[in-house]
Structure 1
């Protein structure tokens, strides 16, 4: 289980595979100097809560992985996440779609 660390006081636990896909989407948005919201659900062990934050260029963001290998990219999942990031409701983690071929 990795972590998305935003600013100085927000740490969100995220599975390494999902984190890799979020990283690609978030970096693309930030490279384009676009701000957006990110919403997540807490892990079951934490409770049934959720959170939301505004991601914008200039705020430190760290993607900390538990494993040493980069996960393969599921292009369909990446496409779905990019679409969400461009919606008014913002980015949120979706379950990975079942795609037979991964690159």
Structure 2
């Protein structure tokens, strides 16, 4: 389980390493371009019920920490899906299966 440390928040954001690796590419690309957007997720079962959203901005400190030393294989389709959602008014919304470690659901199925 990887972790995002964002700004001065004392609450780390835990996301499965594979999902976090994909998010890292999309987030750093957007922030490098000076673009701001939101990232939302449903709380995992071991946390109080609900969902959270953060506003990602280039001026706010951000750190990604991965449990696994090896980078997972990245899916270009998944990264494109995340990047496209970042460009919407709703921002990126991680689905439960993405946070838990599965591939995103195929919209064709």
Q: Same fold (TM over 0.5)?
A: yes
Looking at structure 1, the residues matched to 105 and 75 of structure 2 have their Cα atoms a distance apart, in angstroms, of 9
Structure 1 gap ranges (5+) = none
1:1-103 aligned at under 5 Å gives the runs 1-9=1-9, 10-94=11-95, 95=98, 96-97=103-104
Looking at structure 2, the residues matched to 4 and 47 of structure 1 have their Cα atoms a distance apart, in angstroms, of 19
Structure 2 gap ranges (5+) = none
Q: Secondary structure at 2:84's aligned position in 1? A: helix
Cα deviation, residue 97, structure 1? 3.6
Q: Secondary structure at 1:52's aligned position in 2? A: strand
- C-alpha change, 1:33 and 1:89, in structure 2 (3 Å) is same
What is the CA RMSD across the aligned residues, in angstroms? 1.5
Cα deviation, residue 5, structure 1? 1.1
- TM-score using structure 2 length: 0.84
Alignment length (residue pairs) = 99
1:33-85 CA-to-partner distances (Å, cap 9, x unmatched) read 00111111111111321101111011110111011101110111111101100
Q: Kindly report structure 1 stretches of 4+ aligned residues shifted beyond 3 Å.
A: none
